[in-house]
Amino acid sequence: MTNFTMDTCIDANTPLGIDQACLSILNLYYTPVIFYAIPWEAYTGTGVPKSVLLPNSNTSLIISTKYPLHIYYQVTDHDRYWEYCHLTYTFKEHGSYGWNISQSSICSDIYVLREPTEVYLPIFAAFMTFVLLAVIWTTSKVIVRVVKGKLSPNVVHDDLDRLQDTESMTHSVIQTTEFSTRIHSVDTFRGISILLMIFVNNGGGEYVFFNHSAWFGLTVADLVLPWFAWIMGMTITISKRTELRVTISRMKLILHCLRRSAILILLGLMINSMHSKSLSDLRFPGVLQLLAVSYFVCATLETIFMKLHSEDTLLQFGYFAMFRDILHSWPQWLIMAGIILTHTLITFLMPVPGCPRGYLGPGGPYEYRGKYTNCTAGAAGYIDRSIFGDHMYSKTQHSVYGSIERYDPEGLMNTISSIFIVFLGVHAGKILLLYYKDSSKVIRWVAWAVITGLVAGILCNFEMRGGVIPVSKRMMTLSYVLTCSSFAFLLYTILYVLIDHKQIWRGAPFVYAGTNPIFLYVGHILTKDLFPWAWTIANPTHASRLAMNFWTTSLWGIIGYLLYRKHVIITI
């Protein structure tokens, strides 16, 4: 008589956690076998041993549903190991599944014992709730205006001719401005970026696509930092044009850029110190540090080479007028081409001890059967480990790839990549300034979205993990930079048409957060996990985590709105 052991994880009354399912494996062998499982994107020939399946037994295991799993089992026969039944399956949260293996090495397909739950309903409910609130808010405003007899069309003000208060560069940290003179599409884009960043930094409801990709590929969370850097580039163009028009010396502007970058770096180090025990392990790189360096490089280049309208009459009215956005800044393009070429050559030609040239993977024990264990992030990781030592990102236990070498997602090579993202935003700002017809601006933004998207697709072979240069946020590869920039061009085009051209939307509620992005970013880091922004959930689910993360994001959105209503901008 065959004996079966039953684990309680297939009991319908036993709760499973977030991204968990139950797999019951029926082993009909007369000897123990070893069960292996690994996320499909990490599988390159080696799996992770999960359990020893006893002979003639039914073993139930709790497995992760974050990524599709590649599973198989191993049998030992006279000191030789045989692997059988390799298959990949997408398990779904809170479902119970069965799998049968037998002495004949014939394996059944995965079958469902208990249907999984619908994990995306909370997202749909949240979306409908926000839509309802937006409709109620808009309707109430219309009713109030009608009652007061003040219903009038929106007037969108152009801030291209706004003169900034030059005294604020050297004296004031908090300044009051007339908000109606700002470009609302720019603030809206920046608000979308910062609120989305707050949402994903707080967990994003623990959904995979609201968290950063494991190593290769692209998720919603992977877009936020490049978008923020891209729109920062656009504001560089606008602000530098304005500052040069009020005859501020270029050297003074460069010193101002240096001062602003230094403050950003200091703020970044202060934030990093929250997670350090002493100065000996203080992390030097960080998000604000990356933004500071990329800002300084691009802002300095614009300060040195930017031409005022009076200096480029030929480009405005000559034969090359339709290309003046490129010709206007050809020195910056040459410098940027040199930066990209240098980054590419280092990535693919620099020798790294014990590693192949051009390696872009995570390393670890499962990457090609541990062949590249010490090669995490290739040349970029090697450079960061050599320069920063203990002063870099300290986490070495990867949820997918196991134990990997230290590397920094905001390290030196990634910072160089971010410079190009900011520069593409600078170029988008050039289009905004140099062309007067809205149709001319829109056509060029869309064209750049297509160009950057096509080049990115060619580099990665239009795959998440493929091509000469795969898409990787962890490495900030060129294909990743171009992909994110393509989406940025496209999103800004839509916002510009809706807000500044057609004037059918004022950008609320994102426009409020977009006026004080650095304050909101630093504030949400300092208050993370503190009440009333967050609290401990005893038995978390996607719904409960999503509700809390939306609350956290909304609370910071409200703070941004209050600052907006008070006409307060906190700058550095």
Q: In terms of C-beta density within 10 A (0-12 exposed, 13-18 middle, 19 or more buried), how is residue 430 classed? A: buried
Measure the CA angle with vertex 522, ends 227 and 544; round to 5°.
80
Question: 358 to each of 266, 380, 391, 412, 463, how far by Cα in Å?
Answer: 33, 10, 25, 17, 18
Is 62:22 a contact under the CB 8 Å cutoff?
Answer: yes
Going by C-beta distance under 8 Å and a sequence separation of 6 or more, which residues neighbour residue 109? none
How do beta strands 96-101 and 20-27 pair?
A: parallel
Query: What are the distances in angstroms from CA 517 to CA 85, 192, 286, 430, 520?
Result: 52, 10, 17, 22, 5
- Backbone angles phi and psi of 51, in degrees to 5: -165, 150
Terminal Cα-to-Cα distance of the chain (whole angstroms): 77
Residue 102 makes CB contacts below 8 A (sequence gap 6+) with: 28, 29
Instruction: Give the residue among 265, 403, 233 at the shortest CA–CA distance from 329.
Output: 233
Q: Which pair of structure tokens corresponds to residue 11?
A: 């009991």
Beta strands in 107-221 (DSSP E): 111-114, 174-175
* Phi and psi at residue 112, to the nearest 5°: -90, 125
β-bridge mates for residue 84, sequence order? 73
Question: Is-contact 520 456, C-beta < 8 A?
Answer: no
> What 3-state DSSP class applies to 229?
helix
CA angle 423, 427, 432 (to 5 degrees): 145
* 94 Rama class: left (phi>0) / alpha (psi -120 to 50) / beta: left
Round to whole Å and give the CA distance between 7 and 303: 68
Catalytic entry in 212, 328, 343, 427: 212
Cα–Cα distance for residue pair 558/554, rounded to 1 Å: 6
Closest by CA position to 235, among listed 188, 166, 172:
188
Active-site residue, 212 included: yes
* Contact partners, residue 479, CB within 8 Å, separation at least 6: 456, 459, 460, 467, 469, 470, 471
CB 409 within 8 A of CB 467: no
Asked whether 408 and 393 are in contact (CB, 8 A), the reply is yes
CA distances from residue 332 to 138, 300, 307, 338, 427 in whole angstroms, order as listed: 44, 10, 12, 10, 10
**Catalytic residue IDs:** 212
